[in-house]
Amino acid sequence: RREGMRRAARRRAEHYAYFQEEPAENVHVGGEDARTLGPWSSARQLVDERERARANREEQIKRRKKEEEGLVAWKPRADRREGSTTAIGNTPSLFEFALQILCDHFDAVESLEGIPDVVRAPIAAELSRRRTLTP
């Protein structure tokens, strides 16, 4: 849902936001000959300039879309919010990796003093699973 909103905002932003390198003449006051133009001429000039600017923006958007077609959209294989998995192709979390290393070399650990119970429980579970916990 958030990604859809982000795409919609980008499409709308491309329509409204544009950059002009050269300052355009002020079409709202009629440019250099503002005093000689009547209200109808000024309004017509504004409409024409607006249509020209819209056509330019649409052309730039089409050009950008053609450039982006060559890019590859990347999507992850699994949703990491559902919990970490250790299936083929998924990278373990840093905690899982550290737990594996610690359990591999657990015989070198003198004590678990100072380690919170929240961390001790997964260590004990992994050692029990491996059947390497000895008295």
pLDDT digits (tens, 9 = 90+) for 57-99: 999 988 888 877 766 676 766 666 665 554 556 778 899 999 9
pTM of the model: 0.34
pLDDT tens-digit map of 104-119:
988 888 888 888 999 9
- CA-based nearest residue to 103, from 131, 75, 81: 131
Assigned token pair, 86? 């250790």
How far apart are the C-alpha atoms of 18 and 52, rounded to whole Å? 13
Tell me, what DSSP letter sits at residue 32? G
pLDDT at 45 over 60: yes
